């Protein structure tokens, strides 16, 4: 590569440094374009059009359809959709708290834990708080009919991001169809969880939730760093909510939005390429590749 832009009077070391800088700059630009934006096909709703407060109302503020929730030593806060869904696209633009956030979880997720306590399904986007010298971890997770029965089977895949999620709003979404679950960041697929059997896929209706709460026992480096309330309040900001799908009462003919331009539901080759790029560069944990896990409990691996 240096031969493309090195001139005769340039020192070889300078050429190598210039090459390194150009490569590094290219890598910092983010993933290749997925070529399709599922979110562009879905209209935004304000917080009050799609959600209500679930807990911590004194730590929740709605302003022009956007939502701010915060955690301090007295309480966190959470919200819940007005309806349960059996499939669909569920997303929001989020902006995270900078600085020391160890032990704090800021989330957007699907669950039916209130309807099926001890035996619920769940699909998670969770930001694991961190110390100022380390990046946030985005944890994706899927639970199927097992949480809370003493045999908690998580299917965690964790990522770092190609941007700083505290500097601006970015769009995070879950697309849940009868055949697969796709996690998206700014319309880039980062994880696809396919339905390989009824036993390993959530099929019961779920509500959409979001929350900020203290998970000091595990959130940051397996509980090594705890929430430090000298840094309170810890704030999560949400806007540009998008919900489009089939409610629990929709007819059987209802179909959720498609992840791809073909409308078939499967990702395009360009989308898969973008997803592979993210996983190659930013995936930091995959439950299927954890030698400490009992993989008889996760047959999809």
Asked whether residue 17 carries a pLDDT value surpassing 50, the answer given is: no
Distance CA(286)–CA(159), nearest Å, equals 9
What integer pLDDT is reported at residue 261 of this predicted model?
A: 87
Contacts of 237 (CB under 8 A, 6+ apart): 66, 67, 68, 94, 95, 96, 169
What is the fold of 49-297?
Jelly Rolls (2.60.120)
Question: Where in the chain are the domains?
Answer: 49-297
83 vs 152, more confident: 83
Residue 146: predicted pLDDT: 63
Q: What is the DSSP string of 201-230?
A: S--S-BEEEEEEEE-TTTTTTTTTS---GG
Query: Considering 83, 126, 180, 300, which one is annotated as catalytic?
Result: 126
Is residue 122 annotated as part of the catalytic site, yes or no? yes
- Inform me whether the pLDDT recorded for 266 exceeds 90: no
Report which of 170, 230, 180 is spatially closest to residue 201, judged by C-alpha positions.
180
Catalytic residue among 83, 114, 122, 180: 122
Q: Is the pLDDT of residue 27 over 50?
A: no
Distance of CA 259 to the CA centre of its chain: 16
pLDDT of residue 265: 64
When pLDDT is averaged across residues 258-277 and rounded to a whole number, the result is: 89
pLDDT at 253: 93
Q: List Cβ neighbours of 226 (8 Å cut-off, separation of 6 or more).
A: 102, 103, 216, 220
What torsion do the CA atoms of 55, 60, 62, 68 make, to the nearest 10 degrees? -120
Q: What is the arithmetic mean of pLDDT over 248-268?
A: 88
List pLDDT tens digits, range 170-207: 999 999 999 999 999 999 999 999 999 998 999 999 99
Note the pLDDT of residue 15.
46
- pTM of the entire structure? 0.89
Report residue 150's pLDDT band, with 50, 70 and 90 as the boundaries: low
State residue 118's pLDDT score: 83
Q: Does residue 180 carry a catalytic annotation?
A: no
Asked if residue 205 lies in contact with residue 246, where contact means CB atoms within 8 angstroms, the answer is no
């Amino acid at each position: 590569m240096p031969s493309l832009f090195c001139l005769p009077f340039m020192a070889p070391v300078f050429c190598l440094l210039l090459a390194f800088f150009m490569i590094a700059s290219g890598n910092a630009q983010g993933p290749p374009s997925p070529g399709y934006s599922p979110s562009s096909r879905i209209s935004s709703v304000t917080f009050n059009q799609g959600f209500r407060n679930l807990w911590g109302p004194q730590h929740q503020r709605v302003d022009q359809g956007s939502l701010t929730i915060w955690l301090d030593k007295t309480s966190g806060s959470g919200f819940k959709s007005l309806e349960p869904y059996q499939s669909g696209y569920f997303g929001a633009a989020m902006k995270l708290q900078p600085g020391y956030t160890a032990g704090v979880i800021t989330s957007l997720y699907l669950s039916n834990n209130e309807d099926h306590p001890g035996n619920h399904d769940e699909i998670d986007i969770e930001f694991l708080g961190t110390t100022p010298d380390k990046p946030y971890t985005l944890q994706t997770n899927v639970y199927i009919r097992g949480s809370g029965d003493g045999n908690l089977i998580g299917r965690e895949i964790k990522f770092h991001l190609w941007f700083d999620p505290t500097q601006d709003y970015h769009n995070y979404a879950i697309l849940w169809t009868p055949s697969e679950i796709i996690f998206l960041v700014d319309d880039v697929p980062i994880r696809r969880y396919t339905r390989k059997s009824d036993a390993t896929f959530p099929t019961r209706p779920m509500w959409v939730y979001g929350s900020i709460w203290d998970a000091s026992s595990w959130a940051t480096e397996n509980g090594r760093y705890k929430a430090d309330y000298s840094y309170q309040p810890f704030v999560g900001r949400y806007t540009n909510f998008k919900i489009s799908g089939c409610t629990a009462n929709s007819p059987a003919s209802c179909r959720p939005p498609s992840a791809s331009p073909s409308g078939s539901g499967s990702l395009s080759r360009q989308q898969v390429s973008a997803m592979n790029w993210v996983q190659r560069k930013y995936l930091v944990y995959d439950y299927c590749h954890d030698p400490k896990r009992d993989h008889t409990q996760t047959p999809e691996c």
